[in-house]
Amino acid sequence: MHTIKNIINYNFYFPLAMWLSSRLIIAIAMLLIAPLLPTPSTGVPATFSWDVFAAWDSTWYEKIVTYGYDFSPEVKEIHTVAFFPLFPLLSRLLMNIGLPFKVASTLVNNLAFLAALTIVYFWSEELYGKTTARWITATLAWCPYSLYGTVIYAEGLFLLCTTSALRAFHKKQYIWTAFWGLLSTATRVPGVALIPAFLFISWKENRGIKAYLASLTTGLGIFFYSLYCQFKFGDALAFIHAQKAWRGDAKGFAWEGWWRMLMQITVGFTNWKSGYIQDIWHPLFFLVILISSLLLWRFRLRLGKKQFRYGIYLLCLLMWLLTGDELFILTMVFGGIYLLWISRDEIPLVTLIYGFASLALILNTGITASAERYAYGIISLSMAFGLLLARYPRWGYPLMYFFAILLAHFSVRFARNLWVA
């Protein structure tokens, strides 16, 4: 009875409501809207079934659960060893009670995402109070890429493990830090960004040997997986070598990829592909939107706050319709760097360092594919953005409506087996 009372007192209903409402949008889009649309030439028809939650990387997780890991250095193709073991292991556990893979893995990701939202809310409430905690939780739940907290991917589990590890370290709970940190590095490679963050804070705050031990124990997830790869395939770094199927020999900062994305935003895909201005309309519309934004800012005092905001809303919508996903990718990654910097005095230092370390990993993979999804998995960015919206709620409410539209749009695309992130 006491436990139930505590849950009610801590307003568990809010993260639950954010999870239920945002997941309902996804379910309606994937199960009801997507099946009504014609089959795309590059996709498969969506059906009212669990199949809509499985596409792209989901296939590899199913192979792991069904057949185990595979790897061959001589064969230049995608190998399942590139995907870390915790998510398929938990899916396998649920399958042992009779659930099919797609049901079990969908439940694992969704329940983990709900738990992540709850922990984020409680931690944020401790740090900033109820109002800001709600904005941070809403940001995490309604971001369009939160789709990957519902479909058969490991994003929900990764957010749960990393957030729990950061919160435990911030509160100097080192046993829990080691536990959740180990699970983080057993879920995805970017979990290693926790290690430099923990070590730096241990040194800066002179926390003692327990903090250092917890920091190093965090790496045991990837260490044990490396041992498995050594015994199974004779290559302790098989999971890294398998990544060549996606990025080839690319490494470091993807100058060409990011430049191409910027050109597609400013001059359009057709003009970038042809190497000259073949379609005048894209750069012309881009210039009109840019000039209109400058004029709005110049005359914002004469227009008034309300008219200024509505003008910005309209221009942002037009910019998205013109530029598409590329704008979001650049915003998530490079805008995320700026957000962390301006929030550096507000979010816990360990979370700040983890955010910068994670973005550094993203920018040094040699490719730009899925960069926005990986950025979404950095809880530091949701905290920083939630803090910003808490200061300017009149901008936050329409942005959440816009996020809901994008979330439904991305869900329909995923259900039709079209690329999202």
The dihedral through the CA atoms of 144, 254, 246, 262 has a sign that is positive
Least-confidence region, from 25-29, 37-41, 164-168, 354-358: 37-41
Dig out the tokens for 342 from the structure: 């301006």
The dihedral through the CA atoms of 93, 95, 192, 121 has a sign that is negative
Q: Work out the pLDDT band at 75, boundaries 50, 70, 90.
A: low
pLDDT on residue 2 = 42
Inter-CA distances, 357 with 12, 332, 375, 413, Å: 31, 15, 11, 31
Q: Work out the pLDDT band at 279, boundaries 50, 70, 90.
A: confident
Distance of alpha carbon 281 from alpha carbon 277, whole angstroms: 10
Asked if pLDDT for residue 187 goes beyond 50, the answer is yes
pLDDT on residue 39 = 81
Is 410 in contact with 420 (CB distance < 8 Å)? yes
Asked if pLDDT for residue 229 goes beyond 60, the answer is yes
Asked if pLDDT for residue 249 goes beyond 90, the answer is no
Dig out the tokens for 305 from the structure: 């706050």
C-alpha 92: how far from chain center: 24
Asked if pLDDT for residue 247 goes beyond 80, the answer is no
What's the pTM?
Answer: 0.93
Instruction: Return all residues near 110 (Cβ < 8 A) that are at least 6 apart.
Output: 23, 149, 150, 156
Is 268 in contact with 327 (CB distance < 8 Å)? no
More confident residue, 353 or 75: 353
Asked if pLDDT for residue 32 goes beyond 50, the answer is yes
Inter-CA distances, 408 with 4, 34, 328, 385, 402, Å: 34, 10, 16, 21, 10
Mean pLDDT for 36-52 is 84
Asked if pLDDT for residue 312 goes beyond 50, the answer is yes
Q: Work out the pLDDT band at 7, boundaries 50, 70, 90.
A: very low
Distance of alpha carbon 421 from alpha carbon 46, whole angstroms: 18
More confident residue, 269 or 5: 269
pLDDT on residue 316 = 87
Q: What percent of the chain has pLDDT over 90?
A: 71
Helix 194-204 and helix 174-185, axial crossing angle in degrees, nearest 10: 150
